[in-house]
Chain A
Amino acid sequence: TQLLEQSPQFLSIQEGENLTVYCNSSSVFSSLQWYRQEPGEGPVLLVTVVTGGEVKKLKRLTFQFGDARKDSSLHITAAQPGDTGLYLCAGPRGTGGFKTIFGAGTRLFVKA
């Protein structure tokens, strides 16, 4: 059982559509991060959210951290083929705040 559950696992949409992907847990996290990974490369950080209820915008991407800090969502407006990739959420576990666990990811494919 994944501590961070991501849904959907796979999403294929047309260019210009909107979408939301989710990251859920039964545990409270002090912060959550979203990364995007393209084939053959390591993940790249998109955003870190630290406050319950926080909303952060990065161009066409909107990130939200749940009020109870157990879940997060990523909304993409007017998706483009360049948004294609594996979207991963991650959060710290254990003492010290270094050990990081990742969800299994949402694989997004945006068709032109």
Chain B
Amino acid sequence: GAGVSQSPSNKVTEKGKDVELRCDPISGHTALYWYRQSLGQGLEFLIYFQGNSAPDKSGLPSDRFSAERTGGSVSTLTIQRTQQEDSAVYLCASSLGGSLYEQYFGPGTRLTVT
């Protein structure tokens, strides 16, 4: 079946521009996560959505970052006024539930801010 997809796969943008990253989770998965991974590093939690509950935004690094999930499916991560330190791979994952469930990851979006 179809896995988690993300678009675009690569994005180069100029400092100060806004960017939108898209995630299509696996159908039926109620939980959706966004992470950021800097070169060669582990994953930094950004935000998760679970069903109709309010999202946990505690990992968003600044108010320039926001995310939404429409209809319990597709999610977009928006970064406003991008900075060079925002350059990283942004990974999306979905799962059937909480910590005991497998998170299925997309291939990521590589964001480069010049």
Contact = CB atoms under 8 A, between A and B. Distances in A.
Contacts of B99: 30-31, 33, 91-92, 97-98, 100
Interface in B21-78: 31, 33, 35, 40-45, 48, 50, 56, 58-59
Nearest to B43: A102
Nearest to A90: B43
A42 B98 contact: no
Interface residues of B, number: 27
A21 to B, nearest CB: 13
A43 B98 contact: no
A100 B48 CA distance: 9
Name the residue among A6, A103, A104 with the largest chain B CB count within 10 angstroms: A104
Nearest to A42: B105
Contacts of A102: 35, 42-45
Contact of A43 (B31, B45, B105): B105
B31 A98 contact: yes
B103 interface: yes
Contacts of A91: 99
B10 to A, nearest CB: 11
Contacts of B105: 41-44
A69 interface: no
A100 B103 contact: yes
A94 B41 contact: no
A90 B100 CA distance: 11
Contacts of B20: none
A33 B104 CA distance: 13
Interface in A64-102: 86, 88, 90-92, 94, 96-102
Interface of A: 2, 6, 30-31, 33, 40-45, 48, 50, 86, 88, 90-92, 94, 96-105, 107
* A-B residue pairs, 7 tightest by C-beta: A42-B105, A92-B99, A97-B98, A104-B42, A102-B43, A45-B102, A97-B99
